[in-house]
Amino acid sequence: MGGRAITVLNVAEKPSVAKSVASILSRNQGLRVRDGRSRYNRIFEFNYTIRGQPCQMLFTSVLGHLMELDFDDRYRKWHSCDPADLFQAPVHKFVPEDKKDIKRTLEEEARRCQWLILWLDCDREGENIAFEVINVCTAANPNLTIKRARFSALIDREIHQAVQNLVEPNKWFADAVDARQEIDLRIGATFTRFQTMLMKDAFVIDTVTDGRNTVLSYGPCQFPTLGFVVERYWEIQAHEPEEFWLIKCSHRSDEGVANFSWERGHLFDYTCAVIIYEMCIEEPTATVTKVTPKEKPKYPPHPLSTIELEKRASRYFRMSSERTMKVAEELYQGGFISYPRTETDNFSSRTDLHAIVQEQQGHPEWGIYAQRLLDPGAGLWRNPRGGGHDDQAHPPIHPTKFSAGESGWSQDHRKLYELVVRHFLACVSKPALGAETTVEIDIAGERFSACGRVILERNYLDIYIYDRWDGSMIPNYAIGEQFIPTTLTLDPGKTNPPPLLSEADLLSRMDKECIGTDATMHDHIKKLLDRFYATKDANMCFTPTNLGEALVMGYDDMGYKLWKPDLRAVMERDMKSVSEGNKSKAEVLDTSLQQMKTCFLDARLNKVKLLEAMAIFFERLNRVGSDEQNGTGVVVRRCRLCQESDMVLKKNRDGNFMVGCRSYPQCRSVVWLPGSISEAVVTTNACNNCTPGPVYLIQFKFQQLKIPPSYNVNHLGCIGGCDEILTQLTEICGTGSRMPARGRGPTASTSNVHHTNPRSTASTSNAHHTNPRQAVCSHCQETGHSSNDCPSQTRRSRNPQYPGMNQQNGESSVACSSCGTPCGLQTANTDSNRGRDFYSCQTQGCRFFVLEEQNIVHGFETAICLRESYDLYYRRWVDDLNNGSEGRSFPRSNSTPASNRGRNGGRGSRGRGRNGSNSSNGTFVSATGDPISDRRCYTCGDPSHFANVCPNRGGL
């Protein structure tokens, strides 16, 4: 080229990068510095030659993105339009006020230049910023020649090579980022406005957010990330421990101890396990059937990508992904490591790996190892294995400059730099080598195995201190050898729930499901914490907050996958296609936004689901005129007692569903619901029978193992009094919880509604702020009334009905000899006893008795009681009375209600009359009204009682 010097405007992404590149190119000779319009972005001047062309170089910078994308002014206020309009509202890119000075500097300098060289970071985001700079500069000088410098490290050889091999900027990369920005803006703004305006003024959530301005944000990447956290939390809550049994075998000799593992692993069937174990005990001689020696390598890690750097820093140092990227960026800007945002885990053949190792030979900790690597006689070197990922932009993260620790470095800087160096040195090292011997034995036909290992060569383990691979010696065995085990035991165990997601786990899930990019994943995780959707403990594990769980639950109840990764993964793949030139930006925008608009419109129609989910965790605000407060999603009917407030579906402190008056405790009207309900949602359908209306129907879902098999798990019911099935199930299951509620800690709620996760087998309760001086009712555990006037007991006495029967309006003719209460005449409607009359005591203590597991033989009670004790009714048939048994007394129950017993149930006496004697001619029936046949007392043969309460058994 030669000839007259041209003026070149160079623009970097950050001031520190501009200073570093200018210093490298000028070699700090003849470098002049002056201020620009922005005091943070100075201008460096020096002379340089590019492929023989003399150049006067002007080097300045921006501060990340120069422009922002937003809606036109008329759409920017939250109440300015319907949120759905934001899917097609006009958007534009502009330079915000705080970056106007940078823009002026670029315009002024561009007017006197002939070339523009872009030194932005070499990824999609950097390419997008490059085109923002191009737009500003070409508006001031349309005749600019535009070039792009591509580099991966701020070191001499990279920078000089980049400026001598300039390329064209990549418009496809920039378009992919533009598409992502517009998709995220439109979807995020639409759902965020919808969520926030719907629930901010409907629930007390200020204390959850520490009193800050509450914005319930939604992001296409943020919500799937939250979904991973909530889903794992639900898996943990839903876990039911299962007991299993395994046979353990060990053998001790002079050479050591071998612990043998059972080939079956473990069995859940105790009887089978005992039978096999007894076979082994009867013939305990172990015979060695196989001895397999082999060499086993342990390979070093693949070269370091961004995701792996974040995951390993989290595991090894408990450093957050956000902090990791901040420190890595500072190390990169200082020239100590290569560009830290890369998906590549494979070094190209052009990379001089030996030169990188040579720079580390003088380090006091790993310098000697680096020297061994470079010594051919040591035989330690091995070309690194590739992980199969290459973004075609940057190499794996590796050290670019030696440092024994800079004075300005924090401990995090030292740890991260050390990790990068050790990881690189491990990558170019031979794998560790061990000798493993597997021994298989046979005991009574059962196979067991043990494995021993001896480390032969440590190799990369000497430098990569984060990996562990220990040896374990076992005795030498020969095929056919026999011995008697030192120990042979049958041990119990229980299945464990999965652990909470750690930050490394969460990053892996995001990477696998294509949620975000290597440069943005840490931002999405931070957003969850900033928005109070999740918390992170000292072990770097995430737990959803009530707010995060409620939002995910609401969308999940709608049946949509807005919290699942699928939709975003499709968008990410489409944006990658844009970056590769396979799809246009307009095509991807149209497809993605149309799909999400349909989801939004459906979600808005089903907003009641969000409100119901929030109501589980948060107290409602009593705002007059609020549409949501009076919505049919919560209100069931008008209170017939006070005739002023609404009856609403909620949960009591024990996590059980109830319909109570909003004016509680002034009005104590309440309808108690079956304790076996797992989910309940008020529908918009009103009952046609109950008056005054409307009485809205409730969609119930029952726990299958807690109701008789003749009842459907899903039931659309009415609490107005016309629903016989609901009444029957209330009496069968009671209104109490069979398991204690699991505390979740305090929240902002001050109501007496008990909160629970309907997906979990363990309930989720919130603490409440109550007056400690208030008495608590012994029946319902609520405050505001005494046990004498508990509405639950009042309701029960007014409306006695029983499972499997129709109440008739007849006069009671038999009094209970146990408690003296008149016994109501009932008629059974089950198949086996249809039309048969009986008397049933209405006193709660006399209606129940507890049937122990060992006394259950027939019917659905067998399936239920394998899990827990179950309540059955004892009834007196009228035709039995007519046959001469009128004088017999009804059995009294154990005084412990079924709702208050634990998993193993009460163990008190059952089937006894006042004098402790059993009713001789009574018939035991199940909760469905069917008799328990073919079961008699094995002591005296009487079918009316069981042996443990037999009056002829040992004087009992």
Amino acid 745: pLDDT: 34
pLDDT of residue 828: 56
pLDDT digits (tens, 9 = 90+) for 634-664: 688 888 887 777 888 887 766 788 888 877 7
Q: Tell me the mean pLDDT in the region 216-236.
A: 92
Q: Is the pLDDT of residue 855 over 80?
A: no
Q: Is the pLDDT of residue 595 over 80?
A: yes
* Mean pLDDT of the 353-378 span: 93
CA dihedral for 599, 603, 605, 606, sign (positive or negative): positive
Q: Cβ(59)–Cβ(171) under 8 Å?
A: no
Tell me the pLDDT band of 824, cut-offs 50, 70 and 90.
low
Q: What is the pLDDT of residues 340-364, one digit of tens each?
A: 988 889 998 878 899 999 999 999 9
Distance separating alpha carbons of residues 144 and 131, to the nearest angstrom: 13
pLDDT computed for residue 203 by the predictor: 84
Residue 219 CA to residue 184 CA, distance in Å, equals: 7
Point out the residues that are catalytic.
339
186 exposure class (CB count in 10 Å sphere: 0-12, 13-18, 19+): buried
Residues 374, 377, 381, 382: is their CA dihedral positive or negative? positive
Give the span between the Cα atoms of 749 and 751, in whole angstroms.
Answer: 6
Query: Would you give the DSSP letter of residue 884?
Result: I
pLDDT of residue 875: 38
Q: How confident is the model at residue 684 (pLDDT cuts 50, 70, 90)?
A: confident
What would the mean pLDDT of 9-22 be, rounded to a whole number? 92
**Whether the Cβ atoms of residue 425 and residue 357 lie closer than 8 Å to each other:** yes
Residue found by looking up tokens 């309808």 in the block:
671
Average pLDDT rounded to a whole number, residues 660-671 = 78
- Statement: residue 747 has pLDDT above 60: no
Range 744-753 average pLDDT? 33
Q: What is the model's pLDDT at position 561? A: 74
Phi-psi region of 816 (alpha: psi -120 to 50; beta: other; left: phi over 0): beta
Q: Which one has a higher pLDDT value, 87 or 905?
A: 87
Q: Which has the higher per-residue pLDDT, 731 or 224?
A: 224
Comparing 178-182, 386-390, 467-471, 771-775, which segment has the lowest mean pLDDT?
Answer: 771-775
β-bridge mates for residue 47, sequence order: 56
| pLDDT band with cut points at 50, 70 and 90 for residue 785 | low
CA distances from 575 to 153, 173, 711 (A): 27, 9, 50
Of the two residues 681 and 133, the one the predictor is more confident about is: 133
CA distance 814 to 822: 6
The whole-number average pLDDT for the span 168-176 is 94
Residue 798 has pLDDT above 60, yes or no: no
Q: Using an 8 Å Cβ cutoff, are 709 and 927 in contact?
A: no
Q: Is residue 261 pLDDT above 70, yes or no?
A: yes
Structure tokens at 7: 């003026």
What average pLDDT is seen over the chain?
78
Q: What is the pLDDT of residues 520-577, one digit of tens each?
A: 899 999 999 988 999 999 899 999 999 999 999 998 888 767 788 888 888 888 998 9
Higher pLDDT, 918 or 840: 840
The more confidently predicted of residues 625 and 656 is: 656
What is the predicted pLDDT for the residue at 766? 35
**More confident: 727 or 901:** 727
- What pLDDT sits at residue 834? 53
Helix 222-238 × helix 503-512 angle, to 10°: 120
DSSP string, 365-409: TTHHHHHHHH-GGGT-B-PPPP-S---SS-PPB-B-S--S--TT-
- The answer to whether residue 405 scores a pLDDT higher than 90 is no
Residue 272 makes CB contacts below 8 A (sequence gap 6+) with: none
Closest CA to 679 of 656, 712, 696: 656
Look at residue 369 and tell me whether its pLDDT is greater than 70. yes
Of the chain, the percentage scoring pLDDT greater than 70 comes to: 74
Per the model's pLDDT, the better-predicted residue between 765 and 539 turns out to be 539
d(CA 873, CA 840): 9
Helices (H), 144-285: 156-164, 171-199, 222-238, 270-282
32-41, 296-305, 458-467, 635-644: lowest mean pLDDT where? 635-644
State the average pLDDT over residues 294-321: 94
pLDDT of residue 268: 95
Rounded CA-CA distance 303/345 in Å is: 5
What pLDDT, on a 0 to 100 scale, did the predictor assign at position 174? 94
Cα–Cα distances (Å) from 33 to 14, 54, 57, 137, 603, in that order, read 16, 20, 12, 21, 57
The rounded distance, in Å, linking the Cα atoms of 681 and 148 is: 59
What pLDDT is stored for residue 182 in this prediction? 95
pLDDT at 758 over 70: no
Pair of tokens at residue 26: 């000028």
pLDDT exceeds cutoff 50 at 796? no
Q: Where are the alpha helices (DSSP H) in 706-752?
A: 724-733
Give the pLDDT of residue 141: 95
Residue 53 has phi, psi (to 5 degrees) of -95, 115
Give the pLDDT of residue 820.
Answer: 58
β-partners of residue 464 are: none
Q: Residue 468 contacts by C-beta under 8 Å, 6 or more apart in sequence?
A: none
Give the global pTM.
Answer: 0.63
> Which of these ranges, 136-145, 540-549, 749-758, has the smallest mean pLDDT?
749-758
pLDDT confidence of 838, banded at 50, 70, 90?
Answer: low
User: Structural domains in the chain?
Assistant: 6-169 (3.40.50.140), 179-237+545-617 (1.10.460.10), 243-257+268-298+433-456+466-494 (2.70.20.10), 306-430 (1.10.290.10), 626-738 (no CATH)
- Of 896, 929, 893, 910, the residue nearest 738 (C-alpha): 896
pLDDT beyond 60 at 800: no
In contact, 117 and 148? CB cutoff 8 Å:
yes
Is it the case that residue 780 has pLDDT exceeding 60?
no
Q: What pLDDT sits at residue 678?
A: 87
Residue 514: what pLDDT?
84
Q: Is it the case that residue 849 has pLDDT exceeding 90? A: no
Residue 731 has pLDDT above 70, yes or no: yes
Q: Count the neighbouring beta carbons within 10 Å of the beta carbon of residue 845.
A: 14
Question: What is the mean pLDDT of the segment spanning 366-389?
Answer: 92
700's tokens: 């119930």
Q: Which helix (H) or strand (E) holds 574?
A: helix 566-579
User: What pLDDT score was predicted for residue 111?
Assistant: 94
Chain mean position to CA 668: 38
N-terminal to C-terminal alpha carbon distance within the chain: 115
Q: What is the pLDDT of residues 468-526, one digit of tens each?
A: 998 888 999 999 999 999 999 999 999 999 999 999 999 999 988 888 887 789 999 99
Least confident of 96-110, 396-410, 887-901: 887-901
Is the pLDDT assigned to residue 164 strictly greater than 70? Answer: yes
